Amino acid sequence: MKKKLLPYLLLAAMVVVAAVLRNCTLKKNNNTTEQEKTYTKRGLNRNPSNINYSKHARCRMDCRHIDEREVKYILENGKINYAKSDLKGADCNKKYAVEGISQDKQKLRIVFAPCNDEVTVVTCIDLDTDWECSCEGDG
């Protein structure tokens, strides 16, 4: 009789262990999600609800042949250059210099200023080509 119960007891024990492991995994995933939400609020939001463009950025984009599609691509896929970024001060005063290669092979550095769920493009730089530009405020 005991030999007949043994497989059922083992199966019940395996079900209990699986349930415990599943609960531990779910709790761990929920904690990671909360950490990611906190990071997104404090760091560079790579998927903002809105991308704004400063007048200076629009001028630089025009003379350097950079379009909004490329700006969004660099925001989503580029690498932050911390040496060129200004991360001092309050969240809405930080500027992130993000670098990457656009779809048309331009090596770009785009400076983003995030605030809440929006990002403002401050300026756009082509790191390989020195384009002739005459934007307001140039000296």
- Which residue's entry shows tokens 């911390």? 82
> What is the predicted pLDDT for the residue at 1?
60
In this structure, the answer to whether residues 58 and 120 fall within a common structural domain is: yes
> What is the predicted pLDDT for the residue at 39?
40
In this structure, the answer to whether residues 51 and 37 fall within a common structural domain is: no
- Mean pLDDT for the stretch of residues 38-54: 80
In this structure, the answer to whether residues 37 and 51 fall within a common structural domain is: no
Which tops the pLDDT comparison, 68 or 7? Answer: 68
In this structure, the answer to whether residues 32 and 60 fall within a common structural domain is: no
Nearest 5°: the CA angle 77, 80, 85 is: 145
In this structure, the answer to whether residues 62 and 25 fall within a common structural domain is: no
In this structure, the answer to whether residues 56 and 102 fall within a common structural domain is: yes
Instruction: Spell 24-63 as b/e; 16+ CB within 10 A means b.
Output: eeeeeeeeeeeeeeeeeeeebbbebeeeebeebbebbbee
Look up the domain containing 108 and give its range: 44-126
80 part of a folded domain: yes
SS3 67: coil
> What is the predicted pLDDT for the residue at 48?
94
Spatial distance between the Cα atoms of 11 and 133, rounded to a whole number of angstroms: 74
pLDDT of 34 strictly over 50? no
Domain of 52: which CATH number?
3.30.2310
Spatial distance between the Cα atoms of 108 and 125, rounded to a whole number of angstroms: 6
Confidence of residue 29 (pLDDT cuts 50, 70, 90): low
In this structure, the answer to whether residues 35 and 49 fall within a common structural domain is: no
**Number of domains composing the chain:** 2
In this structure, the answer to whether residues 66 and 100 fall within a common structural domain is: yes
Per-residue pLDDT of 94-129, as tens digits, reads 999 999 999 999 999 999 999 999 999 999 999 999
In this structure, the answer to whether residues 8 and 56 fall within a common structural domain is: no
> What is the predicted pLDDT for the residue at 27?
58
Instruction: Spell 107-123 as b/e; 16+ CB within 10 A means b.
Output: ebbbbbbbeeeebbbbb
> What is the predicted pLDDT for the residue at 137?
67
104 part of a folded domain: yes
In this structure, the answer to whether residues 89 and 25 fall within a common structural domain is: no
The answer to whether 79 and 44 have CB atoms below 8 angstroms apart is no
92 part of a folded domain: yes
